[in-house]
Structure 1
Amino acid sequence: MNDNNEATGYVVVGNKYAAVIDTMIGLVNVEAEARKLTNLPLICVNTHGHCDHIGGNWSFDEAYINFADLPVAKEALSILEIEAAKQQFDLKYPEFLPIDDGQVFDLGGVKLQAYYLPGHTAGEIVLLDRADRILFTGDGVIEQIWMQLPESLPIKTQIQSMQRIQHLRNEFDTILTGHSRCPEKAELFDHLLLAAIDLENGNTAEDIEYQWFGGTCKAHPYGREPRRIVYQG
């Protein structure tokens, strides 16, 4: 599901349940859109708490999130635009349910296993679909990762998080991010990890300055064409 090229969500269908991974900005009823694909009971799973990933949670009765991102989610759902939408359309957001590290969502024939990946946010997770060899990464492993946000953790933490799940690397061929225009090859994981290690080691000669909320930050290009970016504080 593509939300006006602002965010991407996914519907993964088993033979007993279907999972909606990220509800994007939520300008439309995501549950109703998912119903166009399946009549199975739906499970809503958030990769992290930013508003462009949990905005559509209002169309579900419950939604899963890593509780380390509850402060981020609370802030996201209190921004002026969402508060205005709540009032105008009488939107009610569900209580969150926790996601444990290693938790398995068994959809019947397809299992999604959650792994913590703190970095972009403290509660970022990825979901591994071993049957189809797909890793759903939200904003945790992405072409242009934002690490300059106030809630983002140090680059070193991103490295440690990726290294902690590096043993999964041979279990996926495709990466689907929270802002995908098309599927990414699994090598994106390798390229991002090397880029983060480069940054931690001070290899910043090719970094590019840019303005971020009135201040000057830097972007670290990496990988082959098209060039990827790590945004840093």
Structure 2
Amino acid sequence: MDSVSQSGQLFHIEVMQGIYLISCDTARTPDHGHSLAPGKPTGNSYLVVGEERALLFDLAADHPGIRDYAQHLAGKPVQLVLSHGHFDHTFHLNKFSEAWLHPADEKLIREGMLGIPPVDPCPLLHPLQDGDTIDLGGRVLDVINIPGHTHGSILLLDRQTRTLLSGDTGARRLLYGSAGLVSLADFCAALNSLQNREFEVMYSAHDRCALPKAHLAHMIRLITEELPKTTKRWSYPGFDEMVWLVHGDPKCLNYFDMVCPASYFAGKTEYSPAGHHQTV
């Protein structure tokens, strides 16, 4: 699991059997190198290889050659799945003919957000819902939708290695409510339920370190106990005023950095996901 391969700026590391982290030397934090240690934010895609086909989760490594890189690494057809519709997870999406994501986030891709133009040309978008399964041949991934970061945020659970690819949901850095507010109580309840799923570690989009399942309980505690008391504020063009919770040191595994609209504490907007189950 410690082998590292390079191709130009892109590189990959096999973090679990048949699961490859793909990133870029210059992705967000050029001084981070190829380290898997906790530290500054990075941009990571993940390639999961089955017997018949492979799945590329997110386009968070900003490199125009990522499609060909993943195809060459897999040696078989590659299906693109997006954890959500934010621009930093859809780099060079216009080079793909089709992609799968939760329909609640299609608008972010088709219309853009925060001054980021829509994807052009936009590939054919296929829906994924909570409870769907993706069969790669001898390897099945479960689709889990947890609204919060966006309404359509999904995670993928690899049954074979008991690994959760958690996108921007189960993470050390959480931008909350960026595409519409979701009840924090519902979000924490979803994280609590997630702890009952059969996995041992998580890999997120903006950290290369493996996160233990216990990180979910850590997130829940900080969101419920510390976030309401936070007085620090964060601002960014296009966003309303945000409450900013920072816990710990980025070089430590228990670090947690979260921003949430201050308006949440004045009035909440609930969101209840609904959908059918299917096998893709």
TM-score range, shorter chain: 0.7 to 0.9
CA–CA distance in structure 1, aligned partners of residues 132 and 179 of structure 2: 28
Q: Residue 116 of structure 1 contacts residue 161 of structure 1 at CA under 8 Å; is this kept in 2?
A: no
**Aligned residue number for residue 218 of structure 1:** 243
2:76 maps to which residue?
40
**In the alignment, which residue of structure 2 is the partner of 1:184?**
211
The answer to which of 41-50 and 156-165 deviates more is 156-165
Mean Cα displacement is larger for which, 210-219 or 53-62? Answer: 210-219
1:89 is matched with: none
What CA distance in whole angstroms lies between the structure 2 residues aligned with 1:153 and 1:44?
27
Answer whether contact 2:170 2:216 (CA < 8 A) is retained. Answer: yes
**CA deviation profile, 1:6-30 (whole Å, cap 9, x unmatched):** 4210110011110000012653132
Distance 1:148 1:97 in 2: 24
**Which digits, 9 at most, give the CA deviation of each residue in 1:70-109, with x for residues without a partner?**
12222338955677xx5xxxxx331110002111111122
TM-score normalized by the length of structure 1: 0.83
Q: Which deviations, in whole Å up to 9, do the C-alpha atoms of 1:85-143 show, x marking residues without a partner?
A: x5xxxxx3311100021111111222111011111100001100121111011111110
Residues in 2 aligned to 1:25 and 1:69: alpha-carbon distance in whole angstroms? 20
Q: CA RMSD in A?
A: 2.6
The alignment status of 1:175 with 2:202, answered yes or no, reads yes
Distance 1:30 1:77, change over 3 A: farther
Q: Structure 1 residues 14 and 189, CA, compared in 2 at 3 Å: closer, same or farther?
A: same
The 5 A counterparts of 1:103-182 are 103-147=132-176, 149-168=178-197, 171-182=198-209
Q: Report matched runs for 1:21-100 at 5 Å.
A: 21-24=57-60, 26-76=62-112, 79-80=115-116, 92-100=121-129
For residue 148 of structure 1, report the CA deviation from its aligned partner.
5.1
The residue number in structure 1 matching 2:257 is 229
Contact 1:25-1:56 within 8 A present in 2 as well: no
Offset, 1:223: 6.5
Q: 1:16, 1:107 within 8 Å by CA — same for their partners in 2? A: yes
- Matching residue of 2:233: 209
C-alpha contact 2:245 2:258 (8 A) present in aligned 1: yes
Between the aligned residues of both structures, percent identity stands at 24
Deviation at 1:199, TM superposition (A): 5.2
Structure 2 CA distance, aligned partners of 1:178 and 1:152?
A: 21
Q: Which segment drifts farther, 2-11 or 31-40?
A: 2-11
Question: Which is further off, 41-50 or 18-27?
Answer: 18-27
Query: Residues 16 and 150 from structure 1, CA distance in 2 versus in 1: closer, same or farther, beyond 3 angstroms?
Result: closer
- Return closer, same or farther for 1:154/1:46 CA change in 2, 3 Å cut-off: same
**1:149 Cα offset (Å):** 2.4
Structure having the higher helix fraction is: 1
**CA deviation after TM superposition for structure 1 residue 221, in Å:** 3.0
Once residues 187 and 144 of structure 1 are traced to their aligned partners in structure 2, the CA distance between those partners, rounded to angstroms, is 16
| Superposed displacement of residue 159, structure 1 | 1.4
CA displacement 1:133-190 (0-9 Å, x = unmatched): 110111111101011525352323321322343321xx21211111123222222222
> Which segments of 5 or more consecutive residues in structure 2 lack a partner in the other structure?
1-21, 29-42, 262-280
Runs of 4+ in 1 over 6 A off after TM superposition: none
In 2, the alpha carbon distance for the partners of 1:100 and 1:121 equals 14
- Higher mean alpha-carbon deviation, 3-12 vs 127-136, is at 3-12
The residue that corresponds to 2:274 in the other structure is none
d(CA) in 1 for partners of 2:183, 2:63: 32
